[in-house]
Amino acid sequence: MLVRIRPGAELTGAERELVDCLRAYPSTGLALVECRVGDRRLGGVIVTPRGITVLEVKGFRRRQSGLLTATADGAWRISDSPLDLEAEPSNGLTDRVEHGVHAVRVALEQALQDSRHVSGAVVLVPYRGVVVRPARTALRPGLDVLVANSVDAHELRVYLEGFSAGPREWTIDRVLNTCATLGVAEVPSRAELAEEGFANNRPAPTPVVPQVRKFSEPVPPADPSRRGKLVGIAMFAAALLGIFVVFVSVGVALLQDSPDPRPLSDTSQTSTNRAPTSAPPRKTECWPFQRDC
């Protein structure tokens, strides 16, 4: 990683230790140590192809080891003891790094540059040979706490690699514009940035190939089964049989009817002009010795 230190800067022991860590870091990046944005002094600004990280670097007054407990509001502790840092107490570190992130974003916005990919971290540099492990690494969204020195910089590397997981947005031109915006005196050349791994141009977006919707061909109807054919033939035969029965019934009815029917008027006249018939004589019963019998 390229490292640029502001001319005339007076680095603390922790900051010099961090410089050794960054120079041994193998990934692409530009570290601006002890830079100033406006009236604010920043411990470091790391520019990678995928974003910017603002660092607040603090060392220990004495050898302290154990489990670090860091909170966004309140004093930090290591094991059961208060964290003894150089220069200032720990309860203001979160606000300091947050103000530094805000200052960098404002400077980028005033220069009409994108300020979305800017995060911050507090880097604690313990004495060599002392083991300090944080119990919590996230202070607030976009603000983390790291522990690193020249002997053990594993957490710093994991943080930078995780932060670099986004798209490669910072090209050589954008890095040079960022250096000019932050007032870097010793700006690296284009050849140094290219050798470090920064791209000359932003990669072209992957063309989106329109997907042509394929319409499926109509599926031909399935051939009817043998059973279906038999059912159809049976129904057709039943219909023909029914029609035949109807014709036969009509023919029989026509044959049974009289070919010369008698008119209704003649029948009624015959019945009305018929002569009345006399009733047969009644037989008289005769008795013995009766006259005229």
What's the one-letter identity of residue 266? D
User: How are strands ordered across the β-sheet holding 81-82?
Assistant: 81-82, 77-78, 66-69, 132-134
Q: How many CB atoms neighbour CB 125 within 10 A? A: 27
Q: If the chain, 293 residues long, is cut into consecutive pieces of 10 residues, what is the mean pLDDT of each piece?
A: 89 89 88 88 90 90 84 78 74 84 92 86 86 74 84 83 73 92 89 90 57 55 61 80 81 68 47 51 58 59
- pLDDT at site 77: 82
- pLDDT at site 272: 46
Please say whether the beta carbons of 179 and 32 come within 8 A: yes
- Residues 34 and 45: their CA atoms lie apart, in Å, by 8
CA–CA distances in Å: residue 124 to residues 17, 113, 131: 11, 30, 12
Q: Pick the closest to residue 191 from 200, 182, 202, 183 (CA basis).
A: 200
- pLDDT at site 142: 83
Cβ neighbors of 99 (< 8 A, separation 6 or more) are: 40
- pLDDT at site 46: 93
- Residues 154 and 72: their CA atoms lie apart, in Å, by 23
**DSSP annotation string for 143-174:** EEEEE--SS--HHHHHHHHHHTTS-----HHH
Q: How many CB atoms neighbour CB 157 within 10 A? A: 16
- pLDDT at site 229: 72
Cα Rg of the chain, angstroms: 56
The number of angstroms, rounded, from the C-alpha of 277 to the middle of its chain's C-alpha atoms is: 116
- pLDDT at site 225: 59
- Residues 111 and 281: their CA atoms lie apart, in Å, by 152
